[in-house]
Amino acid sequence: MSSMKQIVLATRNQGKIAEIKAIFPDDIEFLSYDDFERLPEVVEDGRTFEENAIKKAIEVARWTGRVALADDSGLEVDVLGRMPGVLSARFAGPGASDEANNVKLLDLMRGVPDGRRGARFRCVIAVATPGGDVKTAQGVCEGYIAHEMRGARGFGYDPLFVVPEYGKTFAELGPEIKNKISHRAKALEKARGILDEVLAGRGPIED
């Protein structure tokens, strides 16, 4: 394993880690918070996904001395003014479960007609070096909010987010399809070139 390229994923979210590992090739070894002792938590206090992703990537890269990849993503619901947005993971309160967040969203969407249930998942990937160089990539997946939770796979808001092309939620589609069309898949595809450049040792990240 020591000859493999190493990237630290700045997350403890096992769902995100599994998706990222499934999308990227086998010649990269992904490390996470669990591979380091006493790695401080990064406070996600940014106003945008980009601010949070950049902060996480830079701090984790500095703490570990390795290239770090951070993801900040969430759900934007049009009728709710693009909420929950950056609050997606804690929509129902600090430490809220996925089910609690979904229940709150359903409550707020009760009575909203089909034509006004538009939403999107947005993901920003930030790649940072220990020296503080950073670059981002973004991906978006458009859809709408279902009237009830459907499907048993995935995590987060997957049981409520319907992809129009399939007429199914992410939780019904499963990882095989989701990892090809999701917001995270699109952002990671764009970030692939950034990682290739950094891991090849070509110096600072350049725009």
Catalytic amino acids? 72
CA neighbor of 109 nearest in space, from 152, 73, 157, 156: 157
Q: Please, are residues 188 and 125 in contact by the beta-carbon 8 Å criterion?
A: yes
Q: Please, are residues 139 and 189 in contact by the beta-carbon 8 Å criterion?
A: yes
Distance CA 187, CA 199 (A): 18
Strand partners, 193: none
Reported as half-sphere exposure (CB side, CA atoms, 13 A), residue 126 has a value of 25
CA neighbor of 125 nearest in space, from 188, 64, 43: 188
